[in-house]
Amino acid sequence: MDGGGGDLRTTIKKWNVIYPVYLNSKKAVADGRRIAASKACPDPTCIEIADCCSHLKIPHAIELDKAYPRDFFQVGRVRVQLKKDDGSPVNPAIKTKKQLLIQIAELVPKHHGRTKKQEPPANASNAGPSKTKGGKKKK
């Protein structure tokens, strides 16, 4: 009936949800930001958040087909498992969702995808002035 992966899906449904808007420093609290603007990062993506969860050794699942309810153009979310079935934290250093959001917001600017984008191109030399001839003049 449900394609075989039903047990995993029902387990993941109990995990906490993190939308990229929660960490976006360009958004206001009224728009959905959950942490202080000084601790937040500009325009995080689901992939960056998931990579940070991997770095923090926290089980996660990316749901790219889901949208943020307040803004349907913000597509994607990450589900994270903060507590095991017995109630103990998965990572003892991170006990609450807010602590996790702050940790992720600190790691996203250091993400390898962002550091590559900020480097200037190595061979940005001028090839000299280009000579262009004009076409026919309109009368």
Query: What is 3-32 written as a DSSP string?
Result: -S-HHHHHHHHTSEEE-GGGGBTTS-GGGT
What is the pTM (predicted TM-score) of this model? 0.75
- Phi-psi domain of 76 (left: phi exceeds 0; alpha: psi -120 through 50; beta: other): left
Task: Give φ, ψ of 74 to 5 degrees.
Answer: -85, 95
The 10s digit of each residue's pLDDT in 85-128 is 888 989 999 999 999 999 999 999 988 888 775 555 555 555 55
Q: At 118, is the secondary structure helix, strand, or coil? A: helix
- How many C-beta atoms lie closer than 10 Å to residue 22's C-beta? 23
* Ordered structural domains, the chain, with CATH: 10-114 (3.30.56.30)
**Chain Cα centroid distance, residue 99:** 16
Q: At 48, is the secondary structure helix, strand, or coil? A: helix
The 10s digit of each residue's pLDDT in 28-61 is 999 999 999 999 999 999 999 999 999 999 999 9
> Looking at per-residue confidence, does 128 or 70 come out higher?
70
Contact 71, 53 (CB under 8 A): no
Q: At 74, is the secondary structure helix, strand, or coil? A: strand
